Structure 1
């Protein structure tokens, strides 16, 4: 038999959105795979805008207003620039100068708000400012990444890609911020395997899964509010990862596997590698949300790490198992959530 050589040639994409929004699927170890995104939140940003256009909520010239201090804002800025929508991003001081410049070069107006100690912290303050701007411009469109069901629905495309490439997945591990990626992707993958084990990765100081609120150096996951898109009964297991551990795993992901990713990817890798090693016959997929270029002056910079008392530190002992989120402390902790609602686990309504 002679080998057949394809002459189809490379695919030509119609836009940078189409070329960038879906992940690369990479085998990292024998049973651990990565869904490695260049910019994961570009996918829900594009999908939300598409749905709004289909419903005539977004028409030429409609102003778009959204809260973000990270990659959703960047993805949305790319979409709005290409589609001609004026965009205002309401963020907070965690937006670094490089990210702000990228947003503004894409035509976005960036407005910074500050945490004045009210309920819900800085994220509640950002949402309040978005509502003020929306009332000033009632013709505007607010994507509402935290509670718009189109956010998790966008990940059906990733689920189709994974199922068509890897087949059935036994365990999905991913960071939880708005709840869109892990919840949406798990719902899609469970069509092929209802028993899929979903592991959410959070960080101490985040209240999403009932831990005490506090300062969060590890950004991009966790929250000081509980987003409506977090489907608590979807999760089997929750891990809380501290910054020094996550930063160590971020460096390790690059050193050992050549994957230059951001710190939320490092947190995801830390948990997924641990879980895959203990379940060697299961196919494990981890979500790696964005690349590391935005973090070269922080997570990949020893001066910044030392100044923030966050030099990378591995945790060879693994996570401490707890029975209630109130037991979460500043080190790697895990809890069997067991697909229960928030109130059933925490003992209070969110």
Structure 2
């Protein structure tokens, strides 16, 4: 096998686990392996990534680990730009895999760490002419890669009524939803975000829950695919992660807990609908945090009790710290935010502006 074609095919697709009569979990070893491999294969086939070449990317999560694993076995040099929020164990593993890791220490006043990291990434690429940037946020090969997952779900589970998963780069949920809707145009799609993420209209802020959300709106997020959005706080996601392990023996990360919290609630309230939810990565990196009772007890806002249901909000600006839901209605981000501004404007006028409109 040519070195450039080496990968981890047995790890790319998820295990499909039945969690309830109408609920299935798609549990990945490392979800980002599939799009990372797909992007590198396409770039190599088109001559944009040469044998022994250099890859540059910005990431603080598992996409970096996926690239590092592939670079190690394919003989590429990998430069990753991250920030101080990167997980300590991930940091060590990336270095062990031979990654050149550049940490941006200070955020910009406008755009925060994300914009600062993008500037450092551009500088790295200028320093290494001919390098390849996968650009997971905007690379259309990211959502395209998930056609394989959609096909697996359709073949193994059959008709699916509802798809639920977390949204970060936008690749997995936008890609799988788009493909499954070829089979079922009425598929109900729920995206799971976290407060202080701008992806679905929240103002940017500090986020303890990593692996979902963003400080920039990635081009690969197809907002028109989503019927509902739920925002789940870190304590709630972490506790749901522990429940997922205790109840189903699935040792997953915090994003999986957030997805399971929403999916379990929705499936129980729609017993006649078949639901699939995505669990992006395993929990081994979180042994000292999510799976540590003392660490959890010290979290701000930790109660040890899950909310029974989300609070439905009228628009994204009303999101609560714990768990909120919003009817997105397959609209673009601009459509949702414009409707919010119009609603706020109407409420500022006497009688909601109705008298003048008449």
| Same fold? TM cut 0.5 | yes
Query: How far 1:19 moved relative to its partner?
Result: 1.2
- Give 1:190's aligned residue: 181
Please say if 1:180 is aligned against 2:171: yes
**1:25-53 alpha-carbon deviations (Å, 9 max, x no partner):** 11010000010001000111100001101
The answer to whether the 8 Å contact 2:240/2:306 transfers is no
Give the TM-score normalised by the residue count of structure 2.
Answer: 0.91
The answer to whether the 8 Å contact 1:34/1:285 transfers is yes
Equivalent of residue 88 in structure 2, options 90, 93, 97:
97
**Alpha-carbon distance between aligned partners in 2 of 1:345 and 1:313, rounded to the nearest angstrom:** 34
- Give 2:230's aligned residue: 239
**1:320-341 alpha-carbon deviations (Å, 9 max, x no partner):** 1112101112121000000001
Number of residue pairs aligned between Structure 1 and Structure 2: 336
Equivalent of residue 122 in structure 1, options 103, 107, 113:
113
Please say if 1:255 is aligned against 2:246: yes
Q: Within 5 Å, which residues of 2 pair with 1:1-350?
A: 17-309=8-300, 311=302, 313-347=304-338
**1:121-178 alpha-carbon deviations (Å, 9 max, x no partner):** 1122111111111122221000001110100111000011111111121100000000
Query: How far 1:97 moved relative to its partner?
Result: 2.7
Give the TM-score normalised by the residue count of structure 1.
Answer: 0.93
The structure in which a higher percent of residues are helix is: 2
Gaps of 5+ in 1: 1-13
2:276 partner SS: strand
The answer to whether the 8 Å contact 1:244/1:314 transfers is no
Query: How far 1:316 moved relative to its partner?
Result: 3.4
User: Structure 2 vs 1, CA of residues 227 and 115 (structure 1 numbering), >3 Å: closer, same or farther?
Assistant: farther
Gaps of 5+ in 2: 341-358
**Alpha-carbon distance between aligned partners in 2 of 1:72 and 1:31, rounded to the nearest angstrom:** 31
User: Structure 2 vs 1, CA of residues 150 and 121 (structure 1 numbering), >3 Å: closer, same or farther?
Assistant: same
**Alpha-carbon distance between aligned partners in 1 of 2:106 and 2:266, rounded to the nearest angstrom:** 36
Query: How far 1:180 moved relative to its partner?
Result: 0.5
**Alpha-carbon distance between aligned partners in 2 of 1:310 and 1:109, rounded to the nearest angstrom:** 36
- Give 2:356's aligned residue: none
The answer to whether the 8 Å contact 1:66/1:144 transfers is yes
**Alpha-carbon distance between aligned partners in 1 of 2:294 and 2:300, rounded to the nearest angstrom:** 10
**Alpha-carbon distance between aligned partners in 1 of 2:136 and 2:122, rounded to the nearest angstrom:** 14
- Give 2:352's aligned residue: none
The answer to whether the 8 Å contact 1:243/1:310 transfers is no
Shifted more, 296-305 versus 27-36: the winner is 296-305
Structure 1 stretches of 4+ moved >4 Å: none
The answer to whether the 8 Å contact 2:191/2:229 transfers is yes
Shifted more, 118-127 versus 244-253: the winner is 118-127
- Give 1:7's aligned residue: none
Query: How far 1:120 moved relative to its partner?
Result: 2.1
Query: How far 1:314 moved relative to its partner?
Result: 3.1
**Alpha-carbon distance between aligned partners in 2 of 1:317 and 1:307, rounded to the nearest angstrom:** 22
**Alpha-carbon distance between aligned partners in 2 of 1:115 and 1:176, rounded to the nearest angstrom:** 25
1:28 partner SS: strand
**Alpha-carbon distance between aligned partners in 1 of 2:301 and 2:276, rounded to the nearest angstrom:** 28
Query: How far 1:197 moved relative to its partner?
Result: 0.7
Query: How far 1:118 moved relative to its partner?
Result: 2.5
